[in-house]
Amino acid sequence: MADRISRIRIEGIRSLAKVDVPLRPLTVLIGENGTGKSSFIEALELLRRLPGPNFIRELSTEHGGLRTLLTDGEKRITLGVEVTSDLPEDTLAYSITIGLSGEFPSIEREQLVKDPGASIGLDCLYRDGPVVQALDQATLKMVDVPDIKPNQPLISAYLPPQPAIARMKGMLERIAVHLPFPVTPSWAAGGRQRSPLREPATIVPAERLERYGENLASAYQALRNNFSPQHWQETLEYIRLGLGESVQDVQVRTDPGGGRVAIALRFSELSQPVPAVAISDGMLAYLAHVALFRLNGGESLIAFDEPEQHLHPRLLARMVGFYEAISASRPVILATQSDRVLDALATPENSAVLLELDEARHAEFRWPDPVSLRKWLDHFAGFAEMRSSGHESSFFTAPLPGTT
């Protein structure tokens, strides 16, 4: 088994005062508005940005600053991730704590430990205030690391080379966080930014679908040209499963101005392909989900906030199937408001996690209890019907495995 992100720890971020979430292959976060689903997705984006050179600056420019993230009454946030592999002793646990120094964020503590479950784990990185150390591979001793900027995460810094750092850094960098695809028609966009899925874009090499589907045309160019003819025909079959057998092809057409491309759908009943600007919202979003699924860009984790937007129930069921398939090789986290997503899950009892607020407005994460779930299923048609009737608290009674 390759490295896999197996656990996410978050403290001090809005309603996520202290959560420790073991990841199943597919984790579907459900719950009322304001319970922390989107904050959990944002925390994953913070983890993705950590290895970059401008993390602290982006904390302010992209996330509104530390104060906008903090749980009421808290002064610091902690982000943690656990990576497992074939052998227990190869497990890595990384965490970073960021607090306020005056009005500005400051890294207070950071640590990377190999084999954290052992009685004495092996420190690979360690920072506590001004103390900054890293493991020397030759001597297996911690050595002081000079010339580290005060607010530079160690995971992004130049340090004595060691496999554990490279492994964790690579896993964080390859986290992919997606938000609903912006498919607003050009005529409705007005003065706002138009949908990147509909507008011609510069053709660039595509290894994965970028956030918002900004490289959708390049993604389909790659799917057609960079894989086997069989892979392309299978991709078309997935498209036909959702959009109908009359879909003949997905074309990547050059803009008349040159240098830019956009997709178009060819249907057997029509004499001309349908350009991206005229494709329906749901069909265009579905094409983006297919591209994300079929490119398989080596992500370490895929997270998607409200992936159901714009999709007809039939397309939604196909989309859920894509993410269930992806989860066989790396964890997938979906945050949703849709009961139909629950109905489409093959085993919702193994995937769904309910977020509820306690009396302090802190999020609690709960799995469905199998015994209670079976009793309730005797009275309702399905998982989603029970939840929409307001009974989710009656069978989401099991605490997250491995938590107290």
C-alpha–C-alpha distance, residues 7 and 80, integer Å: 8
- pLDDT at position 220, please? 96
> What is the identity of the amino acid at 363?
A
Contact 216, 196 (CB under 8 A): yes
Contacts of 390 (CB under 8 A, 6+ apart): none
DSSP-assigned beta bridge partners for residue 199:
none
Residue 351 main-chain phi, psi, to 5 deg: -120, -40
Task: Give start-end residues of each CATH 3.40.50.300 domain in the chain.
Answer: 1-174+299-404
Residue 104: pLDDT over 60: yes
- pLDDT at position 403, please? 47
Task: Specify whether domain 1-174+299-404 bears CATH 3.30.70.380.
Answer: no
Please give the biggest Cα pair distance in the chain. 71
- pLDDT at position 187, please? 67
C-alpha–C-alpha distance, residues 184 and 168, integer Å: 38
Rounded to an integer, the average pLDDT of 160-186 is: 91
Confidence of residue 1 (pLDDT cuts 50, 70, 90): low
Query: pLDDT tens, 32-56?
Result: 899 999 999 999 999 999 999 899 9
Residue 324 main-chain phi, psi, to 5 deg: -65, -40
- pLDDT at position 404, please? 41
Rounded to an integer, the average pLDDT of 296-307 is: 94
Rounded to an integer, the average pLDDT of 299-319 is: 95
Q: What is the layout of strands, in order, in the sheet containing 92-101?
A: 16-22, 4-13, 76-84, 92-101, 104-114, 122-128, 131-136, 141-144
Residue 218: helix, strand or coil by DSSP?
Answer: helix
Query: pLDDT tens, 221-275?
Result: 999 999 999 999 999 999 999 999 999 999 998 877 667 889 999 999 999 999 9
- pLDDT at position 379, please? 74
C-alpha–C-alpha distance, residues 378 and 245, integer Å: 38
| Helix axis angle, 163-173 to 37-49, nearest 10° | 130
- pLDDT at position 401, please? 56
Q: What is the layout of strands, in order, in the sheet containing 175-178?
A: 175-178, 301-305, 332-335, 26-30, 352-357, 363-367, 398-399
- pLDDT at position 192, please? 60
Contact 264, 271 (CB under 8 A): no
Mean of per-residue pLDDT scores for the chain = 90
Residue ranges of E strands in 192-331: 201-202, 247-254, 260-267, 274-275, 301-305
Rounded to an integer, the average pLDDT of 107-112 is: 96
- pLDDT at position 402, please? 47
Query: pLDDT tens, 187-200?
Result: 666 656 678 888 88
